């Protein structure tokens, strides 16, 4: 059967206002809101304007697999912004933010990260009084064997770090 469409004349459009690109972002958006990501960034990062909104856009782009600034633009399609507690910023705005960063700004981001972790652990996300293992450098190796059907790669820890939350 012959196709009625040719690739050179086919146009694909995304214009459904009710669709959400990367709907799983709703959970990350809720977590960011509960931890106060945008507010902590606004209080800590000395870049104007909207450091919290810009940082939240970058974080949420990374959460759903964004690998470059332009990938953040997908968060602006459909109703994606309705699952986030902040206005999603344009890639050009994010580029302006990142180009202006100094080592001091990186240290400010580190401080925000520490505040968010402290808040998350206070809300019950940490290990409590139990030990926690953090795998600092997991190596992916090819695996072979009759009992490994369907598995081609395996994570093999090369350096474990035990940390206690106390």
pLDDT in tens, 115-159: 999 999 888 888 888 887 766 666 666 766 666 565 565 555 554
pLDDT of the residue at 40 = 97
pTM to 2 decimal places: 0.66
Q: And the tokens for 120?
A: 């998350």
Q: Do residues 44 and 63 share a domain?
A: yes
Q: Do residues 93 and 149 share a domain?
A: no
- Show the beta-strand stretches assigned E in 77-142: 131-135, 138-142
Q: How many structural domains are present in the chain?
A: 2
Q: Do residues 46 and 107 share a domain?
A: yes
Asked, for residue 8, whether it belongs to a domain, the answer is: no
Does the structure show a pLDDT above 80 at 92? yes
pLDDT confidence tier of residue 164, bands split at 50, 70 and 90: very low
Q: Do residues 48 and 115 share a domain?
A: yes
Q: Do residues 43 and 115 share a domain?
A: yes
Q: Do residues 35 and 100 share a domain?
A: yes
Q: Do residues 91 and 151 share a domain?
A: no
Which string of DSSP letters, residue by residue, matches 65-90? T--SGGGGGGGGSTTGGGGSSSPPPP
pLDDT in tens, 14-72: 556 666 666 778 888 888 999 999 999 999 999 888 999 999 999 998 888 888 888 88
pLDDT of the residue at 162 = 41
What is the Cα Rg of the chain in Å?
Answer: 21
Q: And the tokens for 95?
A: 């580029």
What angle do helix axes 103-122 and 37-44 make, rounded to 10 degrees?
140
Residue-number span of the structural domain to which 75 is assigned: 25-122
Asked, for residue 71, whether it belongs to a domain, the answer is: yes
pLDDT of the residue at 14 = 55
Q: How far is 134 from 137, CA to CA, in rounded Å?
A: 9
pLDDT of the residue at 15 = 59
- Between 98 and 135, the more confident residue is 98
pLDDT of the residue at 103 = 95
């Amino acid at each position: 059967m012959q196709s009625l469409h040719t690739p050179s004349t086919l146009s694909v459009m995304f214009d459904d206002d009710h669709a959400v690109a990367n709907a799983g972002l709703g959970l990350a958006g809720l977590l960011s809101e509960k931890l106060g990501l945008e507010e902590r960034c606004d209080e800590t990062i000395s870049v104007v304007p909207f450091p919290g909104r810009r940082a939240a856009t970058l974080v949420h782009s990374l959460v759903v697999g964004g690998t470059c600034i332009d990938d953040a633009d997908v968060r602006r399609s459909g109703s994606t912004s309705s699952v986030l507690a902040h206005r999603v910023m344009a890639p050009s705005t994010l580029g302006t933010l990142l180009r202006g960063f100094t080592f001091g700004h990186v240290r400010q981001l580190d401080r925000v990260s520490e505040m968010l972790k402290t808040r998350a652990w206070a809300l019950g996300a940490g290990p409590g009084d139990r030990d926690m293992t953090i795998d600092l450098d997991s190596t992916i190796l090819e695996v072979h064997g009759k009992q490994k059907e369907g598995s081609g790669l395996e994570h093999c820890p090369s350096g474990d770090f035990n940390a206690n939350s106390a």
